Amino acid sequence: MLEEIYFATGNLNKFKEAKEIFEKETSEAALEHFEFRHREIRSDSIEEIAKESVEAAYGGLGKPVFVEDTGLFIDALNGFPGTYSAWVQAKLGCSGILKLLEGVEDRKAKFEACIAFHNGNGIKTFKGVCEGRIAENERGESGFGYDPIFIPKGESSTFAESIELKNKYSHRYKSLLELISYLENL
Protein backbone atom coordinates (compact mmCIF):
# COMPACT_ATOMS: atom_id res chain seq x y z
CA MET A 1 0.00 0.00 0.00
CA LEU A 2 1.24 3.49 -0.84
CA GLU A 3 1.23 6.34 1.63
CA GLU A 4 0.89 9.04 -0.96
CA ILE A 5 -0.08 9.17 -4.55
CA TYR A 6 -0.22 12.13 -6.94
CA PHE A 7 -3.03 13.11 -9.28
CA ALA A 8 -1.44 14.95 -12.21
CA THR A 9 -3.97 17.37 -13.63
CA GLY A 10 -4.35 20.99 -14.62
CA ASN A 11 -8.03 20.79 -13.61
CA LEU A 12 -8.49 21.65 -9.93
CA ASN A 13 -12.16 20.63 -10.06
CA LYS A 14 -11.13 17.10 -10.96
CA PHE A 15 -8.59 17.07 -8.16
CA LYS A 16 -11.14 18.33 -5.59
CA GLU A 17 -13.61 15.60 -6.50
CA ALA A 18 -10.92 12.92 -6.42
CA LYS A 19 -9.60 14.13 -3.07
CA GLU A 20 -13.08 13.89 -1.51
CA ILE A 21 -13.56 10.41 -2.90
CA PHE A 22 -10.12 9.30 -1.67
CA GLU A 23 -10.78 10.66 1.81
CA LYS A 24 -14.13 8.86 1.94
CA GLU A 25 -13.04 5.54 0.48
CA THR A 26 -9.57 4.89 1.88
CA SER A 27 -7.61 5.89 4.93
CA GLU A 28 -4.34 4.40 3.75
CA ALA A 29 -3.23 6.68 0.92
CA ALA A 30 -3.27 10.48 0.85
CA LEU A 31 -3.96 12.13 -2.48
CA GLU A 32 -1.65 14.97 -3.52
CA HIS A 33 -1.91 17.34 -6.46
CA PHE A 34 0.74 17.51 -9.18
CA GLU A 35 0.07 20.61 -11.29
CA PHE A 36 0.45 19.24 -14.78
CA ARG A 37 -0.07 20.88 -18.16
CA HIS A 38 0.43 18.55 -21.05
CA ARG A 39 -0.53 18.68 -24.72
CA GLU A 40 -2.56 15.49 -25.13
CA ILE A 41 -2.16 13.27 -28.16
CA ARG A 42 -5.11 12.95 -30.56
CA SER A 43 -6.75 9.55 -30.44
CA ASP A 44 -10.23 7.98 -30.40
CA SER A 45 -9.25 6.09 -27.26
CA ILE A 46 -9.29 7.72 -23.81
CA GLU A 47 -7.07 4.87 -22.66
CA GLU A 48 -4.38 5.63 -25.23
CA ILE A 49 -4.52 9.33 -24.31
CA ALA A 50 -4.27 8.61 -20.57
CA LYS A 51 -1.35 6.18 -21.05
CA GLU A 52 0.66 8.68 -23.06
CA SER A 53 -0.04 11.45 -20.52
CA VAL A 54 0.98 9.41 -17.51
CA GLU A 55 4.35 8.61 -19.10
CA ALA A 56 4.98 12.34 -19.27
CA ALA A 57 3.68 12.92 -15.72
CA TYR A 58 5.86 10.18 -14.24
CA GLY A 59 8.83 11.52 -16.22
CA GLY A 60 8.30 14.94 -14.61
CA LEU A 61 7.56 13.78 -11.08
CA GLY A 62 9.33 10.47 -10.53
CA LYS A 63 6.78 9.39 -7.88
CA PRO A 64 3.62 7.23 -8.03
CA VAL A 65 1.17 9.24 -10.10
CA PHE A 66 -2.02 8.94 -12.10
CA VAL A 67 -3.80 10.97 -14.74
CA GLU A 68 -7.41 10.75 -15.85
CA ASP A 69 -8.90 11.34 -19.27
CA THR A 70 -12.65 11.78 -19.63
CA GLY A 71 -14.99 11.93 -22.60
CA LEU A 72 -18.71 12.57 -23.03
CA PHE A 73 -20.20 10.21 -25.63
CA ILE A 74 -23.63 11.10 -27.03
CA ASP A 75 -25.54 8.31 -28.80
CA ALA A 76 -27.48 10.48 -31.25
CA LEU A 77 -24.20 12.13 -32.33
CA ASN A 78 -22.43 8.79 -32.90
CA GLY A 79 -20.34 9.21 -29.76
CA PHE A 80 -19.40 12.87 -30.36
CA PRO A 81 -17.69 14.75 -28.68
CA GLY A 82 -15.92 11.68 -27.19
CA THR A 83 -12.20 12.18 -26.90
CA TYR A 84 -12.62 15.72 -28.27
CA SER A 85 -14.79 16.76 -25.31
CA ALA A 86 -12.34 19.35 -23.96
CA TRP A 87 -11.98 21.05 -27.32
CA VAL A 88 -15.74 21.04 -27.92
CA GLN A 89 -16.42 22.38 -24.41
CA ALA A 90 -14.00 25.25 -25.10
CA LYS A 91 -15.44 26.03 -28.55
CA LEU A 92 -19.18 25.29 -28.21
CA GLY A 93 -19.82 24.84 -24.49
CA CYS A 94 -22.90 23.16 -23.08
CA SER A 95 -25.16 25.45 -25.09
CA GLY A 96 -23.57 24.27 -28.34
CA ILE A 97 -24.30 20.64 -27.43
CA LEU A 98 -27.91 21.54 -26.61
CA LYS A 99 -28.21 23.23 -30.04
CA LEU A 100 -26.87 20.12 -31.77
CA LEU A 101 -29.55 18.10 -29.98
CA GLU A 102 -32.46 20.46 -30.68
CA GLY A 103 -35.51 18.38 -31.61
CA VAL A 104 -33.63 15.13 -30.96
CA GLU A 105 -35.60 12.70 -28.80
CA ASP A 106 -32.85 10.17 -28.09
CA ARG A 107 -30.83 12.01 -25.43
CA LYS A 108 -28.79 8.98 -24.27
CA ALA A 109 -25.17 9.72 -23.36
CA LYS A 110 -22.40 8.48 -21.13
CA PHE A 111 -19.27 9.75 -19.49
CA GLU A 112 -16.23 7.51 -19.65
CA ALA A 113 -13.13 8.10 -17.56
CA CYS A 114 -9.84 6.28 -17.85
CA ILE A 115 -7.23 6.53 -15.12
CA ALA A 116 -3.66 5.60 -15.98
CA PHE A 117 -1.38 4.93 -13.01
CA HIS A 118 2.42 4.77 -13.14
CA ASN A 119 4.75 3.90 -10.27
CA GLY A 120 7.91 3.13 -12.20
CA ASN A 121 6.87 -0.49 -12.81
CA GLY A 122 4.72 0.05 -15.88
CA ILE A 123 1.24 1.48 -16.39
CA LYS A 124 -2.13 0.19 -15.12
CA THR A 125 -5.44 1.57 -16.36
CA PHE A 126 -8.85 1.73 -14.66
CA LYS A 127 -12.12 2.69 -16.34
CA GLY A 128 -15.34 4.15 -15.04
CA VAL A 129 -18.55 4.64 -17.01
CA CYS A 130 -21.60 6.66 -16.05
CA GLU A 131 -24.70 6.20 -18.22
CA GLY A 132 -27.28 8.94 -18.45
CA ARG A 133 -28.87 11.47 -20.75
CA ILE A 134 -28.50 15.05 -21.93
CA ALA A 135 -30.95 17.49 -20.31
CA GLU A 136 -33.17 19.83 -22.36
CA ASN A 137 -31.48 22.88 -20.83
CA GLU A 138 -28.61 23.81 -18.51
CA ARG A 139 -29.40 23.36 -14.82
CA GLY A 140 -27.35 23.81 -11.65
CA GLU A 141 -24.29 25.68 -10.48
CA SER A 142 -21.91 23.10 -9.03
CA GLY A 143 -19.38 20.87 -10.76
CA PHE A 144 -17.78 21.86 -14.04
CA GLY A 145 -17.65 21.12 -17.76
CA TYR A 146 -20.74 19.27 -18.99
CA ASP A 147 -22.25 18.82 -15.50
CA PRO A 148 -25.14 21.30 -16.09
CA ILE A 149 -26.48 19.18 -18.99
CA PHE A 150 -25.79 15.63 -17.77
CA ILE A 151 -28.43 13.60 -15.89
CA PRO A 152 -27.32 10.19 -14.60
CA LYS A 153 -29.56 7.20 -15.40
CA GLY A 154 -32.59 6.82 -13.12
CA GLU A 155 -32.35 10.40 -11.79
CA SER A 156 -33.91 13.73 -12.72
CA SER A 157 -31.26 16.20 -11.48
CA THR A 158 -28.18 17.16 -13.44
CA PHE A 159 -24.73 16.60 -11.91
CA ALA A 160 -24.47 20.38 -11.49
CA GLU A 161 -27.65 20.41 -9.39
CA SER A 162 -26.38 17.76 -7.00
CA ILE A 163 -22.72 17.18 -6.26
CA GLU A 164 -23.74 14.36 -3.87
CA LEU A 165 -25.38 12.63 -6.81
CA LYS A 166 -22.27 13.16 -8.88
CA ASN A 167 -19.90 11.75 -6.31
CA LYS A 168 -22.13 8.69 -5.95
CA TYR A 169 -22.54 7.74 -9.63
CA SER A 170 -19.83 9.44 -11.60
CA HIS A 171 -17.35 7.94 -14.03
CA ARG A 172 -14.62 9.52 -11.84
CA TYR A 173 -15.95 7.85 -8.69
CA LYS A 174 -16.10 4.44 -10.39
CA SER A 175 -12.63 4.63 -11.91
CA LEU A 176 -11.18 5.84 -8.58
CA LEU A 177 -12.77 2.94 -6.72
CA GLU A 178 -11.01 0.56 -9.10
CA LEU A 179 -7.71 2.35 -8.54
CA ILE A 180 -8.15 2.36 -4.75
CA SER A 181 -8.92 -1.33 -4.66
CA TYR A 182 -5.79 -2.01 -6.76
CA LEU A 183 -3.65 0.16 -4.45
CA GLU A 184 -5.01 -1.52 -1.35
CA ASN A 185 -3.94 -4.89 -2.70
CA LEU A 186 -0.45 -3.87 -3.72
**Smaller CB distance to ligand IMP: residue 58 or 173?**
173
d(CA 163, CA 17): 9
The pairing of beta strand 4-9 with beta strand 65-74: parallel
d(CA 134, CA 151): 6
User: x/- string (CB under 6 A) for ligand IMP, residues 57-96?
Assistant: ------------xx-x------------xx--x-------
Question: Under 8 Å CB-to-CB from 180, ≥6 apart: which residues?
Answer: 22, 25, 26, 29
Task: Quote the longest CA-to-CA distance of the chain.
Answer: 51
**Smaller CB distance to ligand IMP: residue 5 or 67?**
67
Specify whether the CB–CB gap between 128 and 175 falls below 8 A: yes
User: x/- string (CB under 6 A) for ligand IMP, residues 136-175?
Assistant: -------xxxxx-----------x----------x-x---
**Smaller CB distance to ligand IMP: residue 11 or 157?**
11
**Smaller CB distance to ligand IMP: residue 76 or 93?**
93
d(CA 46, CA 29): 25
Choose, from 44, 69, 75, 106, the residue flagged as catalytic.
69
Distance of closest approach, residue 135 Cβ to ligand IMP, in angstroms: 12
Active site residue 106: no
DSSP assignment of 114-143 equals EEEEESSS-EEEEEEEEEEEE-SS---SSS
Residues catalogued as catalytic = 69
Binding site for ligand IMP (CB under 6 A): 11, 69-70, 72, 85-86, 89, 143-147, 159, 170, 172
